[in-house]
């Protein structure tokens, strides 16, 4: 199984988000292997989240795409 099929992109994150908050948003979809959080000087931030299983990654995309987090619609 390729790593790319288990990794999702999450965009439009608030500039002050913490890795723990991302984990709290996504842990219910499956076991998270890695979170690569990117906070550029100008928001929005983004992250790559790697799940143990590709089906969990797909579920996370379906469950959180468009989700309103702290006034930001996640992509």
Q: How far apart are CA 55 and CA 16, in angstroms?
A: 29
pLDDT digits (tens, 9 = 90+) for 7-31: 999 999 999 999 999 999 999 999 9
- When pLDDT is averaged across residues 38-58 and rounded to a whole number, the result is 96
What's the rounded Cα separation, in Å, for the pair 47 and 71? 17
Tokens of 47: 């992250």
Q: Which helix (H) or strand (E) holds 28?
A: none
Q: Which CATH superfamily is domain 7-68 in?
A: RRM (RNA recognition motif) domain (3.30.70.330)
Mean pLDDT of the chain, nearest integer: 95
In the beta sheet, which residues pair with residue 37? 47
pLDDT at 1 over 90: no
Q: Does the predicted model carry a pTM greater than 0.75?
A: yes
Interatomic CA distance for residues 52 and 75, integer angstroms: 21
50 in helix, strand or coil?
Answer: strand
């Amino acid at each position: 199984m390729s790593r790319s099929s288990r990794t999702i992109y999450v965009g439009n994150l608030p500039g002050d988000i913490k890795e723990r908050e991302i984990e709290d948003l996504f842990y219910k979809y499956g076991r998270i292997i890695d979170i690569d959080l990117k906070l550029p000087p100008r928001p929005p931030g983004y992250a790559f989240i790697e799940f143990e299983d590709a089906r969990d990654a797909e579920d996370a995309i379906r469950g959180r795409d468009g989700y309103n987090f702290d006034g930001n619609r996640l992509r």
